[in-house]
Amino acid sequence: MQTHTVTTPFGRRPMTLGMIASQVTAQTVPEGATVHKWHVFRDIKEARIALGATDRALAILDALLSFHPETAFYGDSALIVWPSNEQLIGRANGMSPTTLRRHLANLVDCGLVVRRDSPNGKRYARKGQGGDIEQAYGFDLSPIVARAVEFKELAEAVRAEKKAYKVVKERLTICRRDIVKMIEAAIEEGVPGNWGSVHLEYQAIIGRLPRTAPRQVLETVAAELDDLWTQIRDVLESFVKTQNMNANESQFERHIQNSNTESKTESERGLGIKDEASGSAGESDNLRSLPQRELPLGIVLDACPNLLWLVKGGGGIRNWRDFLTAADLARPVLGISPSAWEDAQVAMGEQQAAITLAAIYQRTDQIKSPGGYLRNLTERAREGKFSTWPMIMALLRAKLDAAKAAGAGVVEAESELGAAKRLDRTEKRLEISENLKRSLGKWDRET
């Protein structure tokens, strides 16, 4: 029979209002409450961070629960255990005494156990004549029963938060993958649009994502990526539908001449994407005479190697997306206005405009006004009198001529060196011949 309820700790440990609150909570056990101690302990482990408990403290709580013989805890039963520090250390995997005391204090501060210290600080129990425990000093496990519902709610909240975090991480990963691959597909398939700017917008959104972010930050970034994903998807679907309509019309032998239309889809306006003057069926005679094959990226970079200087980090230009990004960087360097650049993209298409800009950048020492030169080429493109093929071929031809000239100089130098070597050998042979003649004449005179 309990004769007195201990409320203060032994020795130098101070009494706090938090301890009193924990003791009050332990006394308010619902009548007839019954809990499974290991089920409650599982909830406590899942809600450990919310409770403020350490992992070592939970190891000690596990040991304390093991000292109570019953698995089911009742609200009206005595739930005090009194193991010594040595016994606790043995069941806590050899924890040091200092660490044990520190994490026992953590259990008390979190309200998971309540101290019931004896007058001398020892833990023991006094039994009566019938063997019943009359007074016990140690650790009261009543909070396990009194706060079982609270622990369960906290554990469910933690599980829900983990699930929501995992869902938003998956959503973010899939959205990032979709956007990158859709931009790559748009560039490879020649979908009209300023895809370099779209990729920069994507990089700006991802740049705001910290290395370790809470769920709320991830949801904000995921929402922005969802909007960008929707815009890109709308443009690609609109382009596919347009291509299908053109294919159906060609089956009925309807030749429709396309020009710069003023109507744009809402998604294209949102991305700043402009229609490209294709002129696929109604091209002029001049445009028909120009090469219509798409220039490979390797040939363009071979003709315009100076564009590689603008790539940061030495990563190189691996695909058309990198090429378009480098062209956007070259525009302000050449002093070309945004309006002139936009007009060129509308008239030529984004990829052809970027190739033109790279060629201008390659010949920047020969072109006094790059902006005026680009506007002139833009006007020619509108009239169907411009193609990037002759420009790139001219740069390759100039590069080849320079290489041949350098090679001819090397051949000439080698021929001069060979002639000098042959002359040197001839002079040496003449010198040897003269010496031989002099030696024979001297031998004749002596004999």
Q: Which residue(s) pair with 80 in the sheet?
A: 140
Whole-number mean pLDDT of the chain? 76
- Average pLDDT score over residue span 202-231: 88
Count of beta carbons in the 10 Å neighbourhood of residue 214: 10
Contacts of 191 (CB under 8 A, 6+ apart): 185, 235, 236, 239
So what's the pLDDT on residue 165?
92
So what's the pLDDT on residue 95?
86
Q: Are strands 34-36 and 80-81 parallel, antiparallel or unpaired?
A: unpaired
Residue ranges of the alpha helices (H) in 190-214? 195-207
- Average pLDDT score over residue span 54-67: 91
Which of 67-76, 160-169, 289-298, 355-364 is predicted with the least confidence, judged by mean pLDDT? 289-298
Contacts of 232 (CB under 8 A, 6+ apart): 179, 182, 183, 186, 198, 271
Query: Is the confidence at residue 10, as pLDDT, over 70?
Result: no
Torsions phi, psi of 100, nearest 5? -60, -50
- Average pLDDT score over residue span 348-371: 89
So what's the pLDDT on residue 275?
37
Q: Is 136 helix (H, G, I), strand (E, B) or coil?
A: strand
Query: Is the confidence at residue 390, as pLDDT, over 80?
Result: yes
Confidence of residue 91 (pLDDT cuts 50, 70, 90): confident
* pLDDT tens string 415-439: 555 555 555 555 555 554 555 455 5
- Two tokens at 231? 């815009």
pTM strictly above 0.75: no
Cα-atom radius of gyration of the chain, to the nearest Å?
Answer: 43
* pLDDT tens string 230-285: 999 988 888 888 776 555 545 444 443 443 433 333 333 344 443 333 333 333 44
Query: Is the confidence at residue 46, as pLDDT, over 80?
Result: yes
So what's the pLDDT on residue 418?
58
Contact assessment for residue 183 and residue 202, using Cβ atoms and an 8 Å cutoff = yes
- Average pLDDT score over residue span 96-119: 86
Q: Is 317 exposed, middle or buried (0-12, 13-18, 19+ CB in 10 A)?
A: buried
Question: Of 81, 42, 36, which is closest to residue 63 (Cα–Cα)?
Answer: 81
So what's the pLDDT on residue 246?
56
So what's the pLDDT on residue 282?
37
- Two tokens at 149? 């519902």
Question: What is the greatest pairwise CA distance in the chain?
Answer: 152
Q: Give the integer Cα–Cα distance in Å for 368 and 416.
A: 41
Q: Give the integer Cα–Cα distance in Å for 196 and 264.
A: 19
Q: Give the integer Cα–Cα distance in Å for 423 and 425.
A: 5
Q: Give the integer Cα–Cα distance in Å for 293 and 112.
A: 76
Query: Is the confidence at residue 41, as pLDDT, over 90?
Result: yes
